[in-house]
Each structure stands twice: as C-alpha cells, then as structure tokens.
Amino acid sequence: MNALDTLIELSSQMDLEHAEESRQPVGRVDASDNKHRTESTHPSCFTPKARPEFTEREKRAAFTHPAQLPNGKNIVLLKTLLSSACERDCYYCPFRAGRDFRRATFKPDEFARLFSKMNQSGMAQGVFLSSGIAGGGVRTQDKLLDTAQILRKKYQYRGYLHLKIMPGAEKEQVYRAMQLADRVSVNLEAPNTERLAKLAPHKIFIEELLRPLRWVEEIRKSVPAYKFWNGKYPSSVTQFVAGGADESDLELLNTTHWLIKNVRLTRAYYSAFHPIRDTPLENKNAVNPMREHRLYQASFLLRDYGFELEDLPFASDENLPLHADPKLVWANLNLIHNPIEINNADKHQLIKIPGIGIKGAEAIMNARRINKINSLSTLKKLHILADKASPFILLNGKKPAMQTAMSL
Ligand code: SF4
C-alpha cells in the first residue's frame, strides 16, 4: 500500500471525531447506508493507485475537513489515525479489536513526510492525529510523539497540530505532547465510570482518561508558557459519544461543567451515537443529531454565559428539550415576566437574553454610554437579534412591540 492509500484507509472514519468544529468534509462521499456507517469507502476522487503528486482533485480529498481553529481562523484540516490496528474492543468503534477489515499503519517518518508534502502543496493547513492502540497506551503515545517531533523538527512544520493523548499515557508523555502540539485531547467517551463500562469495557475512566486531563492543567500551572513549541499553552478538549451509554444530558453536562471549571477544558465535543456494523452496538438506534446541537448550545451557556447547571431546562428525564434552544427555554421560564432593562443591565444579565451574545452585550454597553437605547432598530444596528430579544427586554422602561417568544 502506498502512503496515499494508507491515508485513505486511515482517514475514512474520521468524521466520528468532531475536532476543531469540523463541518462536512471537503468533497465528502457519503459512505453511510440508512442504518450504519460503513467500512472504509474510497473517495471518488481517489483510486488505490493514486500517487502523492496531489492533483487539484486530490487537494479536495475526502480526508480533509474545513475546520475552525480556536483563534477563529478557518483552515483545511487533515484528520487521521497513525494506525487503525487496535487491541481494545470499545463497543461503538469501527477500529475495535477483532472486527474484520483491512488495517493500516503509518511509520512516524512516513506520515510526517506525507503530511509535510500535503502542507507544502496547500492541501492541508493543519493536522489532527490520533491512533488505535497497539502494544499499550504508552508505546502508542510514543509513536504519536515521534511523529509530532519529526514534523516539528525535521520538516520544520509550524502549523496547527492537534495530538490525541492515548488512554494510559504517562505524565511525561502528556508534557511532551503539550510541548509539540497546539491542542491535546483525551476522549472521555462517557460522563462517568458506570456509563463508560457500557461503551468501552477496558478503558478506566479515572486513571486512564480523566487523569491525563488533570495533568494537562497541572502542567499549564507549573511550567512557563515559553517551554511550549510556540510560546503558548496548548488547549485541551474531550469528546463524548452522546447517547451511546443511555446517559442523560444532565450527566454529560455535569461532567463537562466540572471539566471547564476544574481543568480549564476549552470545550467538549459531542458525537451523536451512530451504530456501526459488526460491533456489539450495531442494533442500537442512532441518536438524533439535534441532541448534539443542544448539548453544544448548553455547554456554551455553561462556559461563556454564566449559566449554572441548575439553570439549564432539563426535563424530568434529565434531557434537554430537542425542539428549542436551551437559552430560549430558560428565558421563557425566567424573563418573560421579569424583562431586563437594556439601559442599565450589567453584562452578565445582558448575555442571558436570547439574541444577545458576548459581543452584542459589549456593543450595547458602549452604545448606551452615549445615548439611551429606545428602539429595536437601534439594537439591530448593533447586530443584536432584536426580534428574538424583544419579548425579554425593556427599552427605557417600556416593552418593545410585543413579540411571541418563538422556539428557535
Ligand atoms: S481504543 Fe480507540 S481505536 Fe481502539 S477500539 Fe477503543 S475507541 Fe476504537
């Protein structure tokens, strides 16, 4: 198998990883049937004989994804594994041990050389690198670290690198990963030990998964930033398989909130469970992708908008309503009879109003220093979603023309 064929094999299932807020892969061929995600399918623009010369069509290959970096910059991201061989048997995973499909593995230098060429040809501006586990988490992590080291040192790669931390990696390896990467991640997969046992019987929640995330924060607190590759602390993220272990949104968001507060997690990704053929969960129903969306909205309320877990509008089954934005549901319960005066509310109050984000709240505070805000049209000029906000606000003591509080 040449290097491009290997890359095709290794990247074919990477839309399961929601790194860097990827949307649809560039030129993605839908490799799913109605019920299952399927095994590796060669993208139409590649054939197994494709050579690493990168035609225009190859540059639009299905293994690269539009992505947004933490600084807001949009790039094309290569998401891949170093190896799809894995000795673990997570119930939801296409790479689980014993599943019958063609495995592929890069040597560290082989991948670094290929990616360096892709980067130089403009095919990808960043890379997300993970791996199946072979020979234990420590050995696998060493291979990921070797690859990152070769990229940074031998190929002088200065672009974005997101490196996965393997279950069972050692603290020194986490430190090395942080020195080389812009972002590191450990997939918790489930919100607690009990739920993880339903998904991944050989992963240990506290020792193998949570502890490395704690180490990341310990290292950030104890090592000066100049020790890291570009003089900045790398961010840390995690991913959950939403709905895979029948957990509730409350459980997922409780763990997310704890991580944000205690280990400064940048964000959690939620991948709605989707059954994969020939895995123990192949007959489990897929989770509605809208659940992912609501979890993201709620996690941003916890991270950026001053919401506490008890503010979120969980139903009696501890899940968020799927039909409506949680901020809007909260406002309908809490603000509809207690509207907020736009002209004297503080930032914390303003950002709780639907239609007003953090930048919008700052724009309002700046504008009202000059003149009182008396109309929805003034709010619109400040790029506020004024119609969405209007049921929940007062303008100079008066309710704006009454609007119905709509759901999303
Ligand atoms: S350890 Fe990772 S690659 Fe291996 S089966 Fe589990 S989720 Fe899949």
| 241 Cβ closer than 6 Å to some ligand 1 atom | no
Beta strands in 101-173 (DSSP E): 126-130, 160-164
Give the confidence band of 204 by pLDDT, cuts at 50, 70, 90: very high
* Domain end among 241, 264, 288: 288
For the segment 144-171, the average pLDDT, to the nearest whole number, is 97
What type of residue sits at position 357? G
* Full residue range of the structural domain in which residue 344 is found: 326-394
Same domain, 93 and 32: yes
358 C-alpha to ligand 1 centroid (Å):
38
Whether the pLDDT of residue 61 is over 70: the answer is no
pLDDT value at residue 21:
58
Q: Is residue 319 part of a domain?
A: no
Residue 22 lies in a domain: yes
Task: State if residue 88 touches ligand 1 by the CB under 6 angstroms criterion.
Answer: yes
Q: What is the pLDDT of residues 120-140, one digit of tens each?
A: 988 899 999 999 999 999 999
Give the tokens for residue 346. 């503080």
Of 12-21, 197-206, 290-299, 349-358, where does mean pLDDT reach its minimum?
Answer: 12-21
CA of 95 to the centre of ligand 1 (A): 6
> For the domain that residue 345 is a member of, what is the CATH number?
1.10.150
Q: How far out from the chain centre does Cα 240 lie?
A: 9
Q: 271 C-alpha to center of ligand 1: Å?
A: 15
The percentage of the chain sitting over the pLDDT mark of 90, rounded to a whole number, equals 78
Q: Atom 1 of ligand 1 has which residue's CA nearest to it? A: 88
Whether residue 344 is found in the same domain as residue 270: no
Tell whether 45 is covered by a domain: yes
Same domain (yes/no): 348, 250? no
Return d(Cα 329, Cα 406) in angstroms, integer. Answer: 9
Check if 10 has its Cβ closer than 6 Å to any atom of ligand 1: no
For the CA of 132, the nearest atom of ligand 1: 3
**Do residue 367 and residue 249 come from a single domain?**
no
pLDDT one-digit tens code per residue, 311-349: 999 999 999 999 999 999 999 999 999 999 999 999 999
- pLDDT tens digits for range 340-397: 999 999 999 999 999 999 999 999 999 999 999 999 999 999 999 999 999 999 999 9
Q: What residues have CB less than 8 Å from 235, skipping those under 6 apart?
A: 70, 182, 183, 184, 266
- Asked if the structure places residue 242 within a domain, the reply is yes
Q: How far is the CA of 42 from the centre of ligand 1 (A)?
A: 22
Are both 128 and 239 inside the same structural domain? yes
Mean of pLDDT values over 147-171: 97
Q: With a cut of 70, say whether residue 62 has pLDDT above it.
A: no
Identify the three-state secondary structure at position 161: strand
Angle at 354 between CA 349 and CA 359, to 5 degrees: 65
Q: Is residue 306 part of a domain?
A: no
How far, in Å, CA of 149 to CA of 187, rounded? Answer: 22
- Same domain, yes or no: 82 and 131: yes
- 280 lies in the same domain as 331: no
140 and 22 fall within a common domain: yes
* Residue 302 placed within a domain: no
Residue nearest to atom 6 of ligand 1 (CA): 90
In a domain, 320, yes or no: no
Angstrom distance (rounded) from CA 53 to CA 368: 58
pLDDT at 402 over 70: no
C-alpha 335: how far from chain center: 31
> Of 263, 288, 313, which residue sits at a domain end?
288
Average pLDDT over residues 260-271: 97
Stretch 229-237: mean pLDDT, rounded? 95
Last residue of a domain, one of 288, 313, 346: 288
Task: Kindly report the backbone phi and psi dihedral angles of residue 76, in degrees, each rounded to the nearest multiple of 5, phi listed first.
Answer: -100, 125
Q: For residue 203, how far is its CA from the centre of ligand 1 (angstroms)?
A: 9
Q: 150 with 216, same domain? A: yes
Nearest ligand 1 atom to alpha carbon 87: 4
Q: How far is the CA of 129 from the centre of ligand 1 (A)?
A: 14
Q: What is the pLDDT of residues 6-41, one digit of tens each?
A: 888 888 777 777 777 555 444 333 222 233 333 333
Q: Looking at the structure, do residues 349 and 278 belong to the same domain, yes or no?
A: no
CA dist 37 and 46 (Å) reads: 20
Q: Are residues 143 and 89 in the same domain?
A: yes
State the Cα–Cα distance between residues 272 and 288, nearest whole angstrom: 7
For 79-90, write each residue's pLDDT tens digit. 999 999 999 999
Cα gap 385→364, rounded to integer Å = 12
CA pair distance 334, 330, nearest whole angstrom: 6
For the chain, what is the domain count?
2
Q: Which residue has the higher pLDDT, 23 or 54?
A: 54
Cα distance between residue 25 and residue 38, in whole Å: 16
Average pLDDT, the chain: 89
Identify which has the larger pLDDT, 53 or 111.
Answer: 111
SS3 166: coil
Residue nearest to atom 3 of ligand 1 (CA): 132
